[in-house]
Structure 1
């Protein structure tokens, strides 16, 4: 009897846990689903509140118009270019941050030079200076270098990462000294040791950081809004702001705003789904 009661109690806890998970997923997914439904209806239906919970018959028309014709609005370019700009920015930031950070951590861990620890702590202190704090001097430097409305202006000021440097340093510190000595005895130079040993051992950490940094770069809003005054160089998030600013009673484009938001959601979700296994491994591995 006691065992049967325990089984029933465990089953009840399992059902309760799954019920909470389903409720949480519903709360998270419902707004996205409603935005998708709104993006498949005409703009007049959105303003009148006649959308409901079922998709409409304007999905292909709305999305194809956004990507190919820029919603048919004067001065609003097609979103295909904005998606490409966001993709280049996100990839550039992710790859740039990982490349600089892993090399910085390699130098700090494996080279002996004056003020080595001071250099690391100076890098680490920059965590207290987010983009919003240094945005005005950074903008002045970018403008002085004529990098406004360029991919370089979008990417270069954001590719330094103290967090990634710290994480790679912690990974490298777990690698036994015997491995370093063995590589030296085999005649491997610093670059060979870095490329053939450290990088493969850091593969899952690189993958996890890539997912995080890609989403970080993709979700940048304030910086692209400042350095891209030309609509042809705008990103997908700034395009949402520009499209929403054109929404009036005479031009009800809120359904297109929702469609743009759905398009902005797809690439980060695709990256997470494609790299989910490596992402989880990189966050949970404790030994090499």
Structure 2
């Protein structure tokens, strides 16, 4: 009897041990990820002298209100973080919405229309994934400069608004739409635009939501391209602003920089939190 019990309990003990190990690894990962963020958050509540002495604050200080007020109104370069956040929001939203709009239309054309060179056009889009941003950034900047779009929202948004990745993802999803849907739409007299609006778009909602989260964060974290195109504070993003705040070690107001970092993290975090259900559903659901 004792041998039978031990044989029965052994798999349960192994599963429990495996669960503890898994949770321990996840806990360590969370600590390693969250600790720098916690230090930044706490550092934004202390004065510059505390951080200048090399202390690593792990508890809140008494200067949070004045630090965030200074960051919001003045920043570290005389430009308030509020304006930089607005610029980042406009650019991130425009990039996310523009990429989705262009990608879903191009994928729809490649999948549902029959025209000469259809596969050639798709592979031409797909091949752009193999080109790093650094390879095409200077020719792109030359075109933007010749068109007079330097230091404008259009110059920051239009050159990065196309997305081969999103086009590929939409194409793969459209290929799973049954042919019966297309035939039923034709029998009802629906044209291509009607079929796209009434059938394809509703089926693509979760995919669009998941891509929106990814593309918004991508647009918000843009650094290299805005660094080249944004030559004045009028269109400067918060990422570029944070870099400019860090001067020499003696002149950097680290408390203001950390407060700016916290403010810069809030919009992407809110977007992920608000759209988390749609994001997970778009990545995992097979029934769209």
2:65 to 60, 73, 94: 60
C-alpha deviation, 1:234, in angstroms: 0.6
| Whole-angstrom CA distance in 2 between matches of 1:70 and 1:32 | 20
| Whole-angstrom CA distance in 2 between matches of 1:203 and 1:248 | 48
| Whole-angstrom CA distance in 2 between matches of 1:146 and 1:56 | 47
TM-score by length of 2: 0.94
Residue number in structure 2 paired with 1:272: 272
| Whole-angstrom CA distance in 1 between matches of 2:283 and 2:52 | 44
8 A contact 1:40–1:255 mirrored in 2: yes
For the structure 1 residues 8 and 248, does the alpha-carbon distance in structure 2 shift closer, same or farther, using more than 3 Å as the test?
closer
1:1-288 to 2 correspondences below 5 Å: 1-2=5-6, 3-71=8-76, 73=77, 76-245=78-247, 247-249=248-250, 251-288=251-288
| Whole-angstrom CA distance in 1 between matches of 2:34 and 2:99 | 31
C-alpha deviation, 1:51, in angstroms: 4.0
8 A contact 1:41–1:51 mirrored in 2: no
| Whole-angstrom CA distance in 2 between matches of 1:48 and 1:248 | 11
Figure out how many residues of one structure are paired with residues of the other and give that number.
283
Deviation string 1:126-159 (CA, Å, 9 cap, x unpaired) is 1112322111111111111111111111100000
| Whole-angstrom CA distance in 1 between matches of 2:139 and 2:263 | 32
| Whole-angstrom CA distance in 1 between matches of 2:28 and 2:220 | 28
Q: CA RMSD of the aligned region, Å? A: 1.4
Q: Which moved more, 1:273-282 or 1:42-51?
A: 42-51
C-alpha deviation, 1:287, in angstroms: 4.1
Q: Secondary structure at the match of 1:132?
A: helix
| Whole-angstrom CA distance in 2 between matches of 1:201 and 1:209 | 14
8 A contact 2:93–2:219 mirrored in 1: yes
Unmatched segments (≥5 aa) in structure 1: none
Q: Secondary structure at the match of 1:133?
A: helix
Q: Secondary structure at the match of 2:246?
A: helix
8 A contact 2:75–2:260 mirrored in 1: no
8 A contact 1:40–1:56 mirrored in 2: yes
Deviation string 1:16-42 (CA, Å, 9 cap, x unpaired) is 221221111001100111111111111
TM-score by length of 1: 0.94
| Whole-angstrom CA distance in 2 between matches of 1:120 and 1:50 | 55
Unmatched segments (≥5 aa) in structure 2: none
C-alpha deviation, 1:167, in angstroms: 0.7
Q: Which moved more, 1:212-221 or 1:252-261?
A: 252-261
8 A contact 2:41–2:262 mirrored in 1: yes
